[in-house]
């Protein structure tokens, strides 16, 4: 399956990319599986990932072919 992943904030700086297209198997994965893949491929610690939006929805648990995924870092500030 083909999934577009968009990075924001410090995650964009860490990866050096605004977005990437990933070809994944199987045709449906959980958010946790994507987090593990990003940890390995881009050396992003899971503690740095705060929100994963699938097609602009934070409540979506599964990622499927053609989905757009936004990865947001932990926000700091006051």
CA 65/CA 17 separation, integer angstroms: 21
Beta carbons of 71 and 46 less than 8 angstroms apart:
no
CA 12/CA 16 separation, integer angstroms: 6
Query: Torsions phi, psi of 64, nearest 5?
Result: -125, 170
pLDDT at site 26: 82
Beta carbons of 12 and 72 less than 8 angstroms apart:
no
Domain span at residue 8? 2-73
pTM over 0.85: no
* 18 belongs to a structural domain: yes
* 78 belongs to a structural domain: no
- What are the mean pLDDT values of the chain's consecutive 10-residue runs (78 residues total)? 92 91 89 89 81 90 94 74
Number of domains present in the structure of the chain = 1
The CATH code of the domain that includes 12 is 3.10.20.30
pLDDT at site 45: 79
CA 26/CA 52 separation, integer angstroms: 19
């Amino acid at each position: 399956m083909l999934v577009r992943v968009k990075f924001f904030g410090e995650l964009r700086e860490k990866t050096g990319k605004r977005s990437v297209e990933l070809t994944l198997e199987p045709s449906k994965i959980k958010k946790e599986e994507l987090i593990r893949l990003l940890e390995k491929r881009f050396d992003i610690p899971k503690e740095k990932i705060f929100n994963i939006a699938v097609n602009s929805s934070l409540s979506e648990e599964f990622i499927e072919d053609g989905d757009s995924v936004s990865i947001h870092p932990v926000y700091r500030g006051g």
